[in-house]
Amino acid sequence: MPAQRLAAGRLAALVWLAGLLALAAPTLAGPSAHPLRAASAPLARAPDGRPIALTFSTDFRRFSADPRLDHVWRTAFGDTPDPGLDKRTLAGNGELEVYVDPRYGAKLGAPDLDPFSVAGGVLDITARPAPPALLPKLEGRRYLSGLISSQPSFAQTYGYFEARARLPRGKGLWPAIWLLPADMSWPPEIDIMESIGDPLTIYCSTHSKTEPSHTTKARLSGDGFHTFALSWGRRWMVWYVDGVEVARHPTPADMHEPMYLIANLAVGGKWPGPPDQSTVFPAKFSIAYIRAYRFT
């Protein structure tokens, strides 16, 4: 009996230790399936060790597409509270989606159009084919999706910008997190993250009027939520995935002005091409948080 008790005690200790290791494992390596588990608290330092202070944060515990209720995010391009179709897609890219919300849906006669949903602290931006009855009102665009923009509520020059997100898979899907100038000019443009159909491959880019565009391709470690970030300074721009540097480029001469944040799920366009029969809809771009910091 004493030997049996000793064996049982050792077994219990091993089970207890295994439990502790299981709790710690998601933070040790690889992407986390849980959207908030990695780096859920605001940071005190950037990955390069510089101290930073939080200036902007949305954790998506709730979200409203109505600008009268949500004073942080708008759901179309531009600086008007209720823009039309010309501010709800990028025709120059050849995109096939219209960015909708319930207010714009009401104008189209379909007030239930809402690509945004929140569950468990995660915002899902959903893309899907447009109902056939709406197609005559969409000027040839066949898909509905969503966009959020921090203009005019937040813009910043330089800093550390970070978002935790899970990317969709499927030909023609084009999720992005990016920055545009607060004065509504273009270029410049800073792409923190773009993906075209493959959630394991992203692109980090700058588009400038003073030099050629610069793009770096990076490969992710696996499906799930990843943390995408940009360190933007006077001299250098550095991109990170899950705290690891994946790209670096000297700051172009025209990227020293306040810029605002955009996150969207485009469909189709000259770069990704149109969806095909393999593309599964509805498709979701899931975002746990978006944050910005200044260097201190």
Q: Which residues form the catalytic set?
A: 189, 194
Give the span between the Cα atoms of 292 and 231, in whole angstroms: 10
Q: Tell me which residue of 101, 109, 116, 28 sits closest to 68, measured CA to CA.
A: 101
Q: Which two tokens stand for residue 206?
A: 């700058």
Terminal Cα-to-Cα distance of the chain (whole angstroms): 64
Residue that has been written with the tokens 């219209």 in this structure: 98
Return the beta strands (E) in the chain as ranges. Answer: 52-58, 97-99, 116-119, 122-129, 143-145, 147-149, 159-166, 173-181, 189-194, 201-207, 214-219, 226-232, 236-241, 244-250, 259-267, 283-295
Q: Which two tokens stand for residue 18?
A: 């295994």
Phi-psi domain of 208 (left: phi exceeds 0; alpha: psi -120 through 50; beta: other): beta
Q: Which residues contact 51 (CB under 8 A, 6 or more apart)?
A: 44, 45, 295, 296
- Cβ distance 88 to 264 under 8 Å? no
123 bridge partner residues? 118, 287
The DSSP call for residue 153 is: T
